[in-house]
Amino acid sequence: MSPTPNTPHSCCSSSSSCSSSSSSVVIVVLVVVVVVFVVAVVVVVVVVVVAAAAAAVAAMLVVFVFFVIVAC
């Protein structure tokens, strides 16, 4: 009735899957690189959108102040 020690490692029952541990490390590294790249792209897009919104608000404020000065 004792559990076999290979039960939690059933995925490594074949030698080919055990030898692919290095490729799994490469896959994990690639996933991390892709996630970091996606996060960097999202941050850049957010910064560009915020900068564009700030520029639009500043332009509207300048136009508003200009019209107020012209009206006065």
User: What single-letter amino acid sits at 22?
Assistant: S
Retrieve residue 37's tokens.
């790249």
How far is residue 21's CA from residue 28's CA, in Å, rounded to a whole number?
A: 11
Retrieve residue 44's tokens.
């850049």
Which pLDDT score, from 0 to 100, does residue 71 have? Answer: 86
Taking only the tens place, the pLDDT of each residue in 1-52 is 555 555 555 555 555 555 557 888 999 999 999 999 999 999 999 999 999 9
How far is residue 22's CA from residue 39's CA, in Å, rounded to a whole number?
A: 26
Which pLDDT score, from 0 to 100, does residue 72 have? Answer: 78
Domain ranges (residues) in the chain: 43-72
Residue 6 in contact with residue 13, Cβ under 8 Å? yes
How far is residue 64's CA from residue 47's CA, in Å, rounded to a whole number?
A: 25
